[in-house]
Structure 1
Amino acid sequence: MSGPVSPVTVEIIRNALIAVADEMNATLIRSAYTPIIYEMKDCSVALLDAEHRVLGQSAGLPIFLGNLEACTIAIEEQYGRDVWAPGDVWIMNDPYVTGTHLHDMTVMEPIFDQSVLIGFAASRAHWLDVGSKDPGGTIDSTDVFQEGLRLTPIKVVEAGTQSPTLTQMIGKNSRFYHGAMGDLGAQIACCHTGARRMPEIYRRFGTDAVLDARDEIFAQAERLERDFITSIPDGTYRAEGSIDSDGISDREVFIRVEVAIDGDEMSIDLSDSDDACRGPVNCGATQAVAAARVAYKLLVDPNRPANGGSFRPLSVSVRDGSVVGANEPFPVEWYFTPLGLLIDLVVKALSEAVPERAAAASYGDSMVIYLSGTHPDTKQPWLHVEPTVGGWGAWDGSDGEDGLINNVNGSLKDMPIEVLETKYPVRLRHYGYRTDSCGHGQFRGGVGVEREFEILADSSMSAWFERSRTPAWGLAGGWTAEPPDVVLNPGRPDERHFLKCANVRLSAGDIIRTKTGGGGGFGDPADRDGGAVRADVADGVITPEIARDVYGLADPPPDGSGNS
């Protein structure tokens, strides 16, 4: 093709590259063996160019935004550019490189067209168990060696042949061997899909056209981002908040952000955050950068998919040895807990500068429950791991979303109740919105949820619920939302309350009630429309008492039914 590539061709190539990423993601999900991938979609994929820049990224976990390329870059830095060869597939989960915890396995394959390296296919998926001291993961680990198998970048497939010794070693380090082997195969198949499809695009349009279109796609993203940043008043903006604890002690762990705007450039400095902790709330620096990118994307360019031109106006500073810049051997199992707070804090810091884009805080963390034991029918070990949805923050013009997964997890789905009750000795007795959990305001925050599990066989529970010390704050006069809670056997003499707990023994007939927090409110509650208040009472979002005492509604429906 001669001359500059046409805008039409640019858009066709843009969507072709995104379609490849979507097909890769579909291959992974449909091939996976464990429900945390094939039902809950705890995975992400990316198609990269030869310089490790994103060409296409499917819907997945935002916390991996612009992060998969860090893994291919790390391999190249360690082994040199010549290490890439056709038919090779690499695997790694080293948290100090990837930034995540050991459960997140990253699998990558270089892509060649007629012996020329043209890019990479990469996938990351959460494996159910990687051999940690406790099934499925740890609540109270104090070093990374308690958290499971740790893999430096290594070839699991070489020249098209999968290594049986490495494959067996990986599988035998999981309590769920067949699930691990199936999920590994699904990730390899995902990468193979990208390795087949990308050269087809090159052959269809020609190398020059694809590269020219890529450069234009990147340039468009950069121009749009710089244009918006220029509209933000120059200055330095700060915010801080804390997570409840590191899981070992009760000490609050503070995250502090400083956002500087200078013309069309933004910098986010995390250097003043607390030092790395004894408990497992630390993360590698690359994941802190990814979280900062999520916050940036929320504010700057939320409607366009990320690509290699995104984030060029952004720089992120992370202090080595901090809780968001941890090194070996600090534990990392709950790496995302400070990152959810970090995202909210960046938005809070810029809320006065861009009030039309800023939302109040969300419920903030993944709110994970673990249930495990030996199945009474199959006599096989079982493990259920599931994050829980909550309320998002309101903004100037809209209430917050009710019952939505937190901002680090993106397109993660609930485990279907039918799957839960079929596979495991658990019955879900109740699942619904948590009344009065929202932050009140002219626009109310979203509400959290309540779930009630009945345990049908002796088992154990671990839980990680967060943000009770810094629950979702409001903006512009909006109220703070309710924090979370986990209750064992509510209303019984042995009732107990938890936020974080490890390996609590359960007996058949025990009840677990989980409650997630709501989102912060926006604006003065006195300014809320009376019809909206009545609708909230009718829907069971708030009680008549809150409608009367907080919102000033003189005659609220008496019972939440909507009837006067």
Structure 2
Amino acid sequence: MKQKKVDPITMQVISGALDTIAEEMGHVLYRMSFSSIIRESQDLGAGLFDKDYQTICESESTPMHIGSIPAYLRGVEKTLQDGEWYEGDVVVHNHPYYGSSHTPDLAIIIPIFYKGRLVGFSANTAHHIDIGAATPGLIIDVADVYAEGMLFSGLKLYEKGKKNEGLAKMITANSRASVQLMRDIEAQIASAQLGVNRFQQLLDKYGEEFTFTAIYQLMDYSEKMLRSKIAEIPDGEYRAEGFLDDDGRNRDVQLPVVVTVKIKGDSVTVDLTGSADQTPTAYNVPFEGSCKVAAFAAFRKLLLDASKLEVPIPSNEGSFRPIDVVAPEGSIFNPIFPAAAEARFTQCNMMIDLIIRALAPVLPDQTIAGSSAAISFASYAGVKEDGNYWVFLEVNEGAYGGRPHSDGPDAIDNLMANTRNNPIEDLGMHLPMICDRYELRDDVMPGAGKYRGGIGVVKAQRVLTPGFITHESERHTHVPWGAFGGSEGAVGKCDIYNYHSKENVKSMYSKFSGYATKSNDVMAFYAPCGGGYGNPLERPPEQVREDVLDDFCTVQHAHEAYGVVLDQNLEIDRMATAARRSEMGG
């Protein structure tokens, strides 16, 4: 007998319970972890999934993580040790050609049994600081996926509740940070086990059939709401293109990224045909675990923004269904095994930035100008006096583009990331590093506009021991775009110098692997600044003056970009401003 529909009030109660489970899973994971990339930055995702791998609920964390777990589960189905799930199993999985987002993101998956039957999965992913790759922490310039570190394909760390001691020993023997790695995995297991327990309690309370009826109604509701938003966009094909700096080895050879957004009725296809061929380095994007997830995130950001909806739309499988993604095999967004694919984040950010740009003409009130779209992911590492490694992973902030009704946010992760900055006090207490500078950029101006672009961060990190730095970033050559009359933003840069000879600065490429450092070497990262939105001459002179007083804008830039003239007391010269703006066409 088919279960009747669940009434709206009860469905909302169950929806709230599911959201709470996912949030609690994420909370347990980052609170119990030892490495700062999980504990402080919260580079993780957690949720529940049905036995067909559909997302039931997800934590409010990094979109790249949670959206990828269904792909992990589909990959595990093909590779599962013993080919069968049992109560007490705990699977570890990270193979990028079997659904993972990239190799450092280990998934922990525990099956959920109810009354002796498999009904779903509790799972999470988290970025680990070292899984034994060719360079500590991160990897870019390598020949194939095997050089990225340990590969796990549906392996059972626990079999029917019994720990696989051989696998655990293998993991600890192949990481430069083995203690943190295993403790972080244990935190993931605790998080996933909590999800199992909480979901079983929910089934006890409402019954299996009733609960899943509510779950599938929630999925259908999310799908319906997203389709209704897509249907408001005029049918057609919308195209945008940009460039990536290089592949981490072949310098000064830019890589094209071409995005065609095809709207047909209430469905959308993101077509990446025309983008660069796959690279000979790890600068490729796993199709299932990262490329498709970036498209899902883009449209959830554009069309299901919770701040613009009277009722938030549940984050579940329904929000994925209306979106299809096309990327030719052998391209940078769909590499062919065994191509390496660890350094895959900045390409996804550029892809989302271009989706926004493509749709800007038909969604002017929902899109923004170009963002930095160039996550800076840095690995600092060295060897302690006792011969053991220290490894630190850091995500540096960028900046958003100007928005339809406000300035672009400064110094914040975008577009695909949602990680937090690592407190410099924590850094100094646990690692042989010192943060010499951490502030907004003052060497360039953000994109001018009625609403200016966000200002990127500058962070200078000094290492106190010899070691290595690997850095993945982007947009040293491709400027964030301005929208609707706004001007372009500013590109990023990266310098390395020694603290005791600051005049000898080495300008670095946006990405590099295993750079050997000496004691007191400093890496200074300057994030790109966002583009402006709208005509700069429509920005109120009073607001321009406030920016000057806040050191967000120079007097010269106020004059040249905004047509605002300030006297020696930094007061607005009304007559001179009117004349200057008239001269500029305002």
Instruction: Give TM-score, length-normalised by structure 1.
Output: 0.95
Which residue is equivalent to 1:400?
408
Which residue is equivalent to 1:290?
293
Shift of 1:79: 5.5
**In 2 relative to 1, CA 385–556 (structure 1 residues): closer, same or farther, beyond 3 Å?**
farther
**In 2 relative to 1, CA 404–556 (structure 1 residues): closer, same or farther, beyond 3 Å?**
farther
Which residue is equivalent to 1:337?
346
Which residue is equivalent to 2:576?
none
- In 2, the alpha carbon distance for the partners of 1:140 and 1:59 equals 32
Match for residue 559 of structure 2 among 541, 548, 552: 548
Alignment of 1:330-479 (within 5 A): 330-375=339-384, 380-410=388-418, 412-435=419-442, 436-479=444-487
**In 2 relative to 1, CA 208–427 (structure 1 residues): closer, same or farther, beyond 3 Å?**
same
Percentage of matched positions with identical amino acids = 30
Shift of 1:509: 3.6
* Greater mean alpha carbon deviation, residues 453-462 or residues 274-283: 453-462
Amino acid at match of 1:234: D
Match for residue 318 of structure 2 among 299, 309, 317: 309
Shift of 1:454: 3.3
Question: What does the per-residue CA deviation read over 1:262-294, in whole Å, with 9 as the maximum and x for residues that have no partner?
Answer: 111111111322211112210111111101111
- Kindly indicate whether the alpha-carbon contact (under 8 Å) linking 1:375 and 1:424 is maintained by their aligned counterparts in 2: no
Which residue is equivalent to 1:35?
36
Which residue is equivalent to 1:47?
48
- Kindly indicate whether the alpha-carbon contact (under 8 Å) linking 2:475 and 2:491 is maintained by their aligned counterparts in 1: yes
SS across alignment from 1:290:
helix
- Kindly indicate whether the alpha-carbon contact (under 8 Å) linking 2:494 and 2:525 is maintained by their aligned counterparts in 1: yes
Question: What does the per-residue CA deviation read over 1:142-193, in whole Å, with 9 as the maximum and x for residues that have no partner?
Answer: 2222211111111111111110001111121111111111111111111111
- In 2, the alpha carbon distance for the partners of 1:23 and 1:149 equals 29
- Kindly indicate whether the alpha-carbon contact (under 8 Å) linking 1:89 and 1:109 is maintained by their aligned counterparts in 2: yes
- In 1, the alpha carbon distance for the partners of 2:263 and 2:82 equals 36
Amino acid at match of 2:165: P
- Kindly indicate whether the alpha-carbon contact (under 8 Å) linking 2:48 and 2:120 is maintained by their aligned counterparts in 1: yes
Which residue is equivalent to 2:544?
533
**In 2 relative to 1, CA 476–2 (structure 1 residues): closer, same or farther, beyond 3 Å?**
closer
1:511 aligns with 2:511: no
- Kindly indicate whether the alpha-carbon contact (under 8 Å) linking 1:534 and 1:556 is maintained by their aligned counterparts in 2: no
Amino acid at match of 2:185: L
- Kindly indicate whether the alpha-carbon contact (under 8 Å) linking 2:76 and 2:98 is maintained by their aligned counterparts in 1: no
Which residue is equivalent to 1:134?
135
For structure 2, list consecutive stretches of 5 or more residues without a partner in the other structure.
307-312, 572-586
For structure 1, list consecutive stretches of 5 or more residues without a partner in the other structure.
none
Question: What does the per-residue CA deviation read over 1:404-433, in whole Å, with 9 as the maximum and x for residues that have no partner?
Answer: 0122211x1111111111112222122111
- In 2, the alpha carbon distance for the partners of 1:522 and 1:448 equals 16
SS across alignment from 1:309:
helix
- In 2, the alpha carbon distance for the partners of 1:171 and 1:218 equals 40
RMSD: 2.1
Question: What does the per-residue CA deviation read over 1:421-446, in whole Å, with 9 as the maximum and x for residues that have no partner?
Answer: 11122221221111344111111010
- Kindly indicate whether the alpha-carbon contact (under 8 Å) linking 2:81 and 2:156 is maintained by their aligned counterparts in 1: no
1:495 aligns with 2:505: yes
Question: What does the per-residue CA deviation read over 1:290-330, in whole Å, with 9 as the maximum and x for residues that have no partner?
Answer: 01111111112122342121122221112111111112221
Question: What does the per-residue CA deviation read over 1:333-374, in whole Å, with 9 as the maximum and x for residues that have no partner?
Answer: 211121110011111111111111111121012112222212
- In 2, the alpha carbon distance for the partners of 1:472 and 1:61 equals 23
**In 2 relative to 1, CA 541–15 (structure 1 residues): closer, same or farther, beyond 3 Å?**
same
- Kindly indicate whether the alpha-carbon contact (under 8 Å) linking 2:89 and 2:160 is maintained by their aligned counterparts in 1: yes
- In 2, the alpha carbon distance for the partners of 1:163 and 1:407 equals 39
- In 1, the alpha carbon distance for the partners of 2:420 and 2:393 equals 12
Amino acid at match of 1:330: A
Which residue is equivalent to 2:272?
270
Shift of 1:219: 1.8
**In 2 relative to 1, CA 103–3 (structure 1 residues): closer, same or farther, beyond 3 Å?**
closer
**In 2 relative to 1, CA 372–111 (structure 1 residues): closer, same or farther, beyond 3 Å?**
same
Question: What does the per-residue CA deviation read over 1:20-52, in whole Å, with 9 as the maximum and x for residues that have no partner?
Answer: 111111221122121111111111112112221
* Greater mean alpha carbon deviation, residues 297-306 or residues 484-493: 484-493
- In 1, the alpha carbon distance for the partners of 2:462 and 2:83 equals 56
- In 1, the alpha carbon distance for the partners of 2:29 and 2:559 equals 51
- In 1, the alpha carbon distance for the partners of 2:185 and 2:23 equals 19
Which residue is equivalent to 1:16?
17
